[in-house]
């Protein structure tokens, strides 16, 4: 099924069930008000949401309405944990030792996660504003010591993510915000023509990024992902359990194949430096527009798109 959170003026928004084609939605009020409630009591509440989802897809939901993704918050507007990995292309190999794995994970702000149409703001262009397109999963409770296989059983939802970067600023303050796709989907939704695109902790679809209407990257999300989501979650659970609502991001989706393009300005500039000795692609600037999306093998958008305008050099609200 597909779930979204609409902005109703509260911090956690209002949960809705979204049709498979992302055209219509239905409030889940009679079942749960917010997504966190569902994650906390998944076995009881998710079958009820699934029934509503099936009814909506058959056109029989009495109070369905057209979905406007501009009203969407992040599916989970605040989370218990946001861990971001670096597991594509030149990242640590799958057989890496624990210390290597630790180097691939970072913790980011999770108290105020942004929606798919959030303005990307930066006060000073000298801070090198950039984006980082990624995949993310939302977990159930996962026990301490979980194996990668057990950890994968705890994946409840998948989303797209955009980690906003100010590359000149150090550490956490240089990563002020993360935005998410309008819709989160359950793994069973990722079946196309009888074959699942979600396999062994990787999503075998292409992540599309465009900047100012021009393609920036069309990158296979699984091809060069060296560590799968099961391995990442299990690593986080070595010394503690994860609570329902933890978000684990793949970090920037990269490819060793240069023809697939890039999912951040920093990666493109690095390739330009390597190939030509000079980086020519500018950092994001005032008036830029960014779009991040993933389409299924049927050609339809899976999660809906993140559409961001960039504001640089203007006073912040």
Q: Where are the domains of the chain?
A: 1-73, 74-312
Residue 127 scores a pLDDT above 80: yes
Residue pLDDT, tens place only, 52-95: 999 999 999 999 999 999 999 999 999 999 999 975 544 433 34
Residue pLDDT, tens place only, 227-263: 999 999 999 999 999 999 999 999 999 998 989 999 9
User: What is d(CA 101, CA 86) in angstroms, rounded to the nearest whole number?
Assistant: 9
- Return the CATH number of the domain spanning residue range 74-312: 3.90.850.10
Residue pLDDT, tens place only, 267-279: 999 999 999 999 9
Q: What pLDDT was estimated at residue 314?
A: 63
Q: What is the chain's mean pLDDT, rounded?
A: 92
The angle formed by the CA atoms of residues 274, 87 and 174, to the nearest 5 degrees, is: 75
Q: What is the pLDDT confidence band of residue 102, given thresholds at 50, 70 and 90?
A: very low
Mean local confidence (pLDDT), 200-213 = 97
Exposed, middle or buried: residue 72 (CB in 10 Å: 0-12, 13-18, 19+)? Answer: buried
Mean local confidence (pLDDT), 131-144 = 98
Contacts 24+ apart (CB under 8 A), 170-176: 172/107, 172/108, 172/109, 174/127, 175/108, 175/109, 176/109
Which residue would you say has higher pLDDT here, 95 or 188? 188
């Amino acid at each position: 099924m597909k779930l979204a959170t609409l902005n109703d003026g509260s911090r956690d928004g209002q949960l809705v069930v979204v049709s498979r084609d992302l055209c219509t939605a239905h409030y889940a009020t009679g079942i749960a008000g917010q997504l966190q409630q569902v994650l906390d009591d998944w076995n009881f509440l998710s079958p009820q949401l699934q029934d509503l989802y099936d009814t909506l897809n058959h056109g029989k939901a009495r109070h369905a309405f057209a979905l406007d993704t501009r009203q969407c918050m992040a599916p989970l507007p605040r989370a218990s944990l946001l861990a971001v990995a670096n597991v594509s292309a030149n990242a640590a190999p799958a057989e890496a030792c624990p210390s290597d794995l630790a180097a691939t994970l970072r913790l980011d702000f999770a108290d105020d996660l942004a929606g798919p149409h959030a303005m990307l703001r930066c006060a000073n262009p000298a801070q090198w504003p950039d984006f980082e397109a990624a995949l993310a999963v939302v977990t159930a409770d996962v026990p301490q010591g979980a194996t990668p296989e057990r950890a994968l059983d705890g994946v409840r939802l998948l989303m797209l993510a955009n980690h906003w970067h100010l590359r000149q600023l150090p550490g956490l303050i240089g990563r002020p915000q993360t935005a998410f796709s309008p819709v989160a989907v359950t793994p069973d939704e990722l079946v196309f023509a009888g074959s699942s695109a979600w396999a062994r902790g990787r999503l075998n679809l292409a992540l599309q990024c465009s900047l100012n209407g021009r393609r920036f990257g069309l990158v296979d999300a699984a091809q060069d992902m060296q560590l799968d989501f099961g391995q990442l979650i299990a690593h986080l659970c070595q010394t503690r359990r994860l609570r329902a609502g933890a978000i684990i991001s793949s970090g920037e989706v990269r490819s060793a194949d240069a023809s697939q393009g890039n999912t951040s300005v920093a990666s493109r500039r690095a390739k330009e430096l390597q190939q030509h000795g000079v980086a020519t692609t500018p950092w994001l600037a005032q008036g830029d527009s960014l779009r991040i999306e993933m389409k299924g093998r049927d050609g339809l958008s899976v999660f809906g798109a993140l559409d961001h305008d960039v504001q640089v050099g203007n006073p912040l609200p």
